[in-house]
């Protein structure tokens, strides 16, 4: 046991050493994680005990990554490409963050860090570059979004959505910028696909007045997505891009069915006892002197009556998708829903002891009035509504284009 403990401690020590090494700025620098090396070195130098190698690593990693990013910054600016403003902003912000982290340490350099921090090479003008890049990136996005928005007004949903994304991207640089809020709302409105969901009865069969209203009451708000909005009530002032039709083609309601069954169940049950007599007609005695008895059995019976009531309604049809711009039918899927009324009443006459266990468990109930056709169809409508909703959810890619 002692040997196992020694091994466990040794393994833990090795793990701790490996973990500590991975956290060291020197290891991060060797692995090419220069920013991480800078951050780790600064964290160590803020402590009371300062190691000279940590100072050296900070200077080397800082100068390397700062020079590399400054050179990249220069190349991007020379390209004079407005698409570069976002990268320029990101790089300048990175340089500025790094420099602001080490500035407080430089003030303590001579007394605490062996004067080595004087060898840090700072990039000048990054704050001005950040401001310039912020304005340049925002202006570029604003102009590009406006161009897309103008083209989107002819009905191009894709460009409207791209314009919206560009307007929203400006939030990275300014919380408020020109008339972006209003233009963003306009682009969003142009980018939405509006879908009208309706019910049509092609059965030439009478339907309860509330049947279609029940189907049309499908709660579509939770089906809405960023660029797709569903509607069950038509707004004449709104242009719908797609129409989804829940088309009822067949309705079948069965007649009231009632089946009466009768059967007999029998069982042999204990019914008292008889004395056992010897050859002389006397009651036999056991070894303890008690009378010897034998159980008596007899057959009992019960008449079981079962009434089963059933009724079913089935509605079948299709869910169809139409592109209102091209008048093309994009999808047609069958849909069916049913509702079943089922009631059972089981009673008996005779001796309860004759009943089988499963029969005894089913005892109870009584005949009830059959539901009307209208009531059963309203249950079907509720079920159909849920099926249609699932179908719409599973095919949302069709109307998202």
The pLDDT tens digits of the residues spanning 307-343 come to 999 999 999 999 999 999 999 999 999 999 999 999 9
As a three-state string, the secondary structure of the chain is CHHHHHHHHHHHHHHHHHHHHHCCHHHHHHCCCHHHHHHHHHHHHCCCCCCHHHHHHHHHHHHHHHHHHHHHHHHHHHHCCHHHHHHHHHHHHHHHHHHHHHHHHHCCHHHHCCCHHHHCCCCCCHHHHHHHHHHHHHHHHHHHHHHHHHHHCCCCHHHHHHHHHHHHHHHHCCCCCCCHHHHHHHHHHHHCEEEEEEEEECCCCCCCHHHHHHHHCCCCHHHCECCEEEECCCCCCCCCCEEEEEEEEEEEECCCEEEEEEEEEEEEEEEEEEECECCCCCECECCCCCECEEEEEEEEEEEEEEEEEEEEEEEEEEEEEEECCCCEEEEEEEEEEEEEEEEEEEEEEECHHHCCHHHHHHCECCCCCCCCHHHHHHHHHHHHHHHHHHHHHHCHHHHCC
The Cα angle at residue 278 between residues 272 and 281, in degrees rounded to 5: 85
Residue 215 burial by CB count (10 A; 0-12/13-18/19+): exposed, middle or buried? buried
pTM: 0.70
**pLDDT on residue 192:** 95
Task: Copy the structure tokens of residue 207.
Answer: 């339907």
Q: Do residues 298 and 268 make contact, with C-beta atoms less than 8 angstroms apart?
A: yes
The pLDDT tens digits of the residues spanning 337-358 come to 999 999 999 999 999 999 999 9
Q: How far apart are alpha carbons 274 and 277 in whole angstroms?
A: 9
Task: Copy the structure tokens of residue 348.
Answer: 């008996």
**pLDDT on residue 113:** 66
**pLDDT on residue 133:** 96
**pLDDT on residue 127:** 96
How far from 380 is each of 188, 246, 315, 358, CA to CA, in Å?
Answer: 38, 14, 7, 33
**pLDDT on residue 8:** 45
Spans in the chain with pLDDT lower than 50: 1-4, 6-22
**pLDDT on residue 111:** 64
Q: How far apart are alpha carbons 71 and 187 in whole angstroms?
A: 38
**pLDDT on residue 285:** 84
**pLDDT on residue 55:** 82
């Amino acid at each position: 046991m002692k040997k196992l403990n020694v091994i466990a401690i040794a393994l833990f020590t090795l793990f701790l050493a490996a973990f500590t090494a991975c956290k060291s700025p020197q290891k991060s620098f060797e692995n090419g994680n220069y920013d991480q090396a800078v951050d780790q070195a600064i964290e160590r130098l803020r402590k009371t005990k300062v190691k000279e190698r940590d100072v050296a690593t900070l200077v080397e990693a800082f100068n390397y990554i700062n020079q590399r990013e400054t050179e990249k910054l220069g190349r991007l600016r020379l390209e004079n490409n407005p698409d570069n403003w976002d990268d320029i902003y990101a790089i300048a912000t990175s340089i500025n963050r790094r420099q602001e982290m080490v500035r407080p340490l430089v003030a303590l350099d001579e007394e605490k860090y062996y004067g080595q921090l004087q060898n840090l090479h700072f990039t000048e003008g990054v704050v001005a570059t950040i401001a310039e890049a912020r304005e340049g990136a925002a202006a570029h996005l604003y102009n590009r979004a406006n161009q897309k928005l103008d083209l989107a007004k002819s009905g191009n949903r894709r460009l409207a959505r791209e314009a919206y994304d560009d307007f929203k991207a400006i939030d990275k640089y300014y919380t408020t910028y020109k008339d972006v809020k209003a233009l963003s709302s306009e682009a969003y409105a142009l980018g939405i696909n509006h879908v009208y969901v309706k019910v049509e009865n092609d059965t030439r069969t009478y339907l309860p007045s509330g049947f279609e209203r029940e189907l049309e009451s499908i709660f579509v708000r939770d089906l809405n997505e960023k660029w797709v909005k569903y509607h069950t009530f038509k707004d004449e002032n709104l242009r719908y891009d797609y129409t989804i039709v829940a088309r009822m083609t067949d309705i079948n309601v069965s007649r009231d069915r009632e089946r009466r069954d009768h059967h007999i169940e029998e069982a042999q049950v204990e019914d008292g006892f008889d004395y056992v007599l010897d050859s002389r007609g006397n009651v036999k005695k056991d070894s303890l002197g008690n009378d010897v008895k034998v159980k008596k059995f007899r057959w009992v019976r019960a008449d079981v009556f079962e009434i089963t009531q059933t009724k079913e309604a089935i509605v079948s049809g299709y869910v169809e998708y139409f592109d209102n711009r091209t008048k093309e039918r994009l999808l047609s899927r069958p849909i069916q829903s049913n509702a079943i009324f089922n009631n059972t009443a089981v009673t008996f006459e005779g001796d309860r002891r004759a009943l089988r266990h499963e029969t005894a468990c089913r005892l109870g109930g009584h005949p009830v009035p059959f539901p009307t056709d209208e009531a059963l169809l309203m249950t079907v409508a509720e079920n159909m509504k849920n099926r249609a909703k699932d179908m719409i959810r599973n095919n949302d890619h069709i109307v998202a284009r």
